Structures are given as C-alpha cells and as structure tokens.
Amino acid sequence: MFVEKSITFFTILLFIFRFFAPGHALPTLGTSKSLEDVLTNINAVADSYVIFHGSIQKYHGGPESLSTLQLQESIVEDHLTDSIDAAAGCPPLDDTGSKQIMTALGKPYPTFMSELLGNITEKKPIFERNSAKPAVLEWLRRLRRLSNELPDALERITVDSDSKEIEKGVEWSNTLFGMALDAYKA
C-alpha cells in the first residue's frame, strides 16, 4: 500500500513538474531543435514508459491505481509529443547523430514494448471488471498513433540506412499494437 501511494505521489509530482516548471509550461512551435533535444526527449519517453509499465504490472483493479495509470499514460503521451516536436524541429543529422538516435531508440525497444503491451493484454479481465476497458482501448489507440508519428519525424532527420531500420520498427510496433487492440476489441 505504501509503495502504491509513493508511486502515485511520484507520478503526480512528475505531472506537476511537467506542466508547471519554467520552460515546460507551453510548447514553442517553429523553434530550432538540436540533436541533444531529440535525445533528451527520447530518453524521457523511455523513462515514462518504464514507470507506466511498472504500474501496469502492479495494477490490481483499485480506483487509486487506475487513476495513477491514467496519469502515467498521459505523461507517456506528453513525452512522445515532445519527442515528435523536437525531431520535427531538428535539421537532418549526419551518420554520427543518426546512430545516437538509434542508440536512444534501443532503450525502450524492442522487448520492452512487447512486454508492456503483453502485460496490458493480460490485465484485460481486471480492466473489464473495473469498467476501464474503454479507457485502455483509447490509451492503446493514442499510443499507437503517437508511436507512428515519432518514427515518421525521426526518419526525416536520420540517414537512409537508419530510416529504413526505423521503418522496420514501425511495422513491428504496429503488429504489437494491433494484437493488443484486437484483444481489447473482442
């Protein structure tokens, strides 16, 4: 119980910091972004996915833990959106910068995403008992959309060989999301 409340408190602090910290309250469109901005944001996505995944694994059906999941999922979305914006504002990269992007993408993928979506699918009966199935279905749809937008933005700035590798990852990710969505639609 203490651990769950601590996770909830930590998640709320992340949420508050995310939206109210200086320089983070409002996105700035049309500004130039650097490779470092892109890498920082990709790392934030990985970190937020890890926290979200940990909470999915611990989910037991309580209303507090569902609220925590909803908040953590929204933080993942925010970090994905920030990563997309950073990549969209970054100029094309050389081979070294492109390789750094590929290394950063390796942190949350490949086994991590299959484990996360597998755990979400395994928890379907618990989500159904708590009338949360529609919310989870929406999470999956939004995360799938953003998980397609990020690679599109990254493909525009990486070298051709890495862009092709990213595209393979998109196909793989879409398959995983498709299986999870199908499970929740059934």
Environment class of 152 (CB within 10 Å of its CB; exposed 0-12, middle 13-18, buried 19+): middle
* Spatial separation of the C-alpha atoms in residues 166 and 181, rounded to whole Å: 22
Taking Cα atoms as reference points, which of 15, 24, 85 lies closest to residue 48?
15
Whole-prediction pTM:
0.82
Inter-axis angle of helices 95-105 and 160-185, nearest 10: 20
pLDDT tens profile 121-163: 999 999 999 999 999 999 999 999 999 999 999 999 999 999 9
In angstroms, how far is the first alpha carbon of the chain from the final one? 33
pLDDT tens profile 105-119: 987 665 788 999 999
